[in-house]
A and B are shown apart, each in its own frame.
Chain A
Amino acid sequence: MNIDYSRELPVIQGRLSLAEIENLIASPLDEKPGKKFFIALSISLSLLFIGVLSVGYLFYKGTGVWGLNQPVGWAFDITNFVFWVGIGHAGTLISAILFLLRQKWRTAIARFAEAMTIFAVMCAGIFPVIHTGRPWLAGYLLPYPNQHHLWVNFTSPLVWDVFAVSTYFTVSLVFWYIGLIPDFAVLRDRTVSKIKKIIYSIFSLGWRNSHRNWQHYEKSYMLLAGFATPLVLSVHTIVSFDFAVSIIPGWHTTIFPPYFVAGAIFSGFAMVVTVMIFVRKIFDLEKIITLNHLEKMNKVILATGMMVGYAYAMEFFIAWYSGNPFEQFVFINRALGPYAWAYWIMVSCNVISPQIFWFKKLRRSIPIMLIVVILVNVGMWFERFVITVTSLHRDFLPSSWGYFVPTIFDIGTLLGSFGLFFTLVILFTKTLPVVSISEVKAVAEGAQPSHHGGEH
């Protein structure tokens, strides 16, 4: 296939008119959900129910119901937390960084990815709260004036986490909502139902498509993107600090911050592609979320996959180079010890499987990309598992060496988090436009004035 490099690829296929774009995106909201919707929802709700049961029993009995032991005092809870926070990085990355990089193709997937960010951060937020086993005391994490005259320990990475994740959640939500305001106005002006109209009116805040507003709106979007970009980096950096400020071999290594961020983008993009493949099919959005979009996402997955591979290699090399016997032991133990199976799942899923994307044909084939992105999701979950558990299960004292085996409550909680995530995603598809209407209109062909007229 020969590409003409002198012309930009159209963002939308098939020269749709503005009204057609709007109809395509907004019409699913007008129809009553079909059978498939309820089947999907019942599956995800069942998963959620398993999670609720597991967590309910956890609250009743305490963290003893999990497979935690001495020395592995931190396993599925932190693994799931980091996994979900990582998933939550794609949305803001797509909406903020790609916005700053002027990547027009982001418009088609930004809204959905942002929603996934918010849901993933919600899933992530559950784990630090429940991992204490006494979640009603979670308020102690926040600095508030109290009768003990004690403030939280601001030098603790766990408190940084509280600040980072809550800030990230708030900013993502605000960013998402700001993007939704013009769309609420569109829906308000479209709908015939009275109740819907009231709801859309309230959320649109009285938006009038005024250019005097658009001007500030664009500025604010840019400022928010400018803040969200370092924020995305900071969140997973701080998550990596949870491990890396300690002195445990396998956790304390300086490459952790960029390594975690690359991993987060990697897993987040994989999750977005996974969901996108289904969404574009089910909602007939193939002309708006095109194969080109997916291909670009796959390229990012390939790039970040190699970054993650670079970090694995650097860790290994420097562990040997450091001459520190504990470091050396931890890494040899990772690859050859009792958790070698997890390590090799991680390497083959994260480093080897995305290499398929070097080939254009495979990069553009839906079944193959679905397999790869699911493997990447699995691999990235195992990455966090490997980091947490293999570093802990071999203590400095050989007498306290142990092995972690998850119980059904560990697994139930993990399934429950997937249930929560997909329930929210499924409900989202029927309540809000899954693609930003105004943004896609703005990048349609002929939507902008031609600037070959000495404009500038």
Chain B
Amino acid sequence: MNRSDKKYGVAALFNSPDDIIKAAKKVTEEGYTKYDVHTPYPVHGMDKAMRLKPSKLGFITLTFGLAGAAVALLFMFWAMSIYYPMIIGGKPFFALPAFIPVTFEVTVLLATLSTVIGMITFFFKYPDQKHPLHDTDYMKKVSVDKFGICIEVDDPLFNEEKVKELFKGLPFESIQTIFHPAEEKHTVLEPKFLGFLAAVAIVVSFGTYVALNKILYTVPFDWMMEQPRVDAQSKSEFFTDGFGMRTSVEGTIARGFIPYEFKGMNEPTVPLSNPLKPTKEVFELGKKKYLSFCSPCHGNYGDGDSRLGENFPKPPSLHSAKAREWQDGNLYHIIVNGQNVMPSYETQLTRDERWAIVHHIRALQKAKNASEQEIQLVKKESLENAK
């Protein structure tokens, strides 16, 4: 490294650890503050000789360690108990004992990384490759087996003669003056460097694109996508009938479906009675299902005024005397079985929905054929309710 003629400081080398301790003590006693001791390894007792305050590094560690613990615990609490709570292994959402390992690891990770990064950047002000001491004969010796002390020009008490005088009073090995390095010019925004950055950006983006969009769709990465399986509606060469999809074995009953015992008969031998209580919910369900499935042909009020017009035969009114005399079980039978051109609604409606429709039909029948007395009663009640 070329040197300028600007002085950095005066340095002395010593041969033994005892000498350097003595020198450091002396320099400290003289009142110098901007000086440093350079040794190939930490020499015990030097902190005292230099009157250094204990390192404050521990505070960084403590702060970040506690922060790590808090962040880890709070995050796991949020993710596992609030954001997406799931019962895992019968444990509570906030399973504290099971969170301790991760909390511990995150604490250690943050504490150590912050300690090291804090030390290097905050306490050392590193990286520093341009320091005047680099590449000096002095530095080369202290990194092997000599012990050096260097007083900087910036020290308020600095006086070259006096400093040399001070060193000469000690069992020194050699004394030298250290100069600042000659200034070097750097242009960060050189076209070469910018070109290099651009090339790196292009290569990285292209690589990412290829990896995510092309490579992941090649063998063997796509083997989870292309599985040897029979898809729905596809042909199969394994079965003689050529169908990939199989029908269930005869007599199979789906879960939750109770077979209707009078299926296929014209009339039920013993009409069933409605198992549902006529509650508000049942009426609402019945109305909803009636309007969806029955009203296109039977009309919204069961009058048989089909919305399908002339394209489909109109069914008889549900208010006929015959229909009104039927038991609930008969109505249910027709819904399950169908009648004349009416198809079976067994697969569209569940058992409860069918019975709810029966309730609804009963309500329609009642409403269409109410006596005057009953109408008055209803009016009166609804007036009272309105109040």
Interface residues of A (CB under 8 A from B): 17-19, 22, 59-62, 134, 136, 143, 149-151, 153-157, 159-160, 163-164, 167, 170-171, 174-175, 178, 182, 185-186, 189-190, 201-202, 205-220, 223-224, 227-228, 230-231, 234, 237-238, 241, 438-439, 441-442, 446-451, 455
Contact = CB atoms under 8 A, between A and B. Distances in A.
A439 B221 contact: no
Nearest to A17: B145
Interface string B44-62: 1111101010110110010
Contacts of B123: 213, 216
Contacts, number: 203
B89 interface: yes
A455 B61 CA distance: 30
Given A151-B84, A189-B140, A220-B115, A215 B43 contact: no
Nearest to A219: B55
B275 interface: no
Contact of B17 (A156, A223, A230, A449): A449
B18 A210 contact: no
9 tightest Cβ-Cβ pairs between the two chains A and B: A18-B145, A206-B128, A442-B41, A155-B98, A219-B55, A211-B37, A151-B79, A214-B42, A163-B105
Given A154-B79, A189-B139, A234-B101, A220 B116 contact: yes
Interface in B116-146: 116, 119-120, 123-124, 126-131, 133-134, 139-140, 142-145
A129 B40 CA distance: 43
A136 B21 CA distance: 58
Contacts of B265: none
B153 interface: no
Contacts of A219: 54-55, 57-58
Interface in B43-91: 43-48, 50, 52, 54-55, 57-58, 61, 76, 79-80, 83-84, 86, 88-89, 91
A206 B134 contact: yes
B91 A155 contact: yes
A154 B102 contact: yes
Interface string B95-125: 1001101101110110111011001100110
B36 interface: yes
B241 to A, nearest CB: 33
A136 B36 CA distance: 52
A153 B88 contact: yes
Contacts of B44: 448-449, 451
Nearest to B224: A134
Interface in B168-218: 216
B359 interface: no
Contact of A216 (B112, B124, B127, B221): B124
20 contacts: A154-B102, A155-B91, A155-B99, A157-B101, A163-B105, A170-B109, A171-B109, A205-B124, A205-B127, A206-B128, A206-B134, A208-B36, A210-B37, A211-B39, A211-B46, A214-B42, A215-B46, A216-B123, A219-B55, A450-B18
B298 interface: no
Contact of A220 (B57, B101, B109, B144): B57
Interface residues of B, number: 73
B259 interface: no
B251 interface: no
Contacts of A160: 101-102, 105
B83 A189 contact: no
A223 B115 contact: yes
Contact of B133 (A17, A208, A231): A208
Contacts of B131: 206, 208
A209 B142 contact: yes
Contacts of B91: 155
Contacts of A234: 101, 104-105, 108
Contact of A159 (B40, B102, B120): B102
Contacts of A155: 80, 88-89, 91, 95, 98-99
B24 to A, nearest CB: 8
A154 B316 CA distance: 65
Contacts of A455: 45, 48
A154 B18 CA distance: 55
A209 B39 contact: yes
Given A60-B220, A216-B123, A219-B58, 15 more contacts: A19-B144, A149-B83, A151-B84, A154-B79, A186-B40, A189-B143, A206-B129, A208-B38, A209-B142, A213-B123, A216-B124, A220-B57, A448-B17, A451-B44, A455-B48
A150 B80 contact: no
Nearest to B135: A189
Nearest to B110: A167
Contacts of A62: 220, 223
A211 B43 contact: yes
Contacts of A157: 101
B40 A441 contact: yes
Interface string B207-243: 0000000001001110110000000000000000000
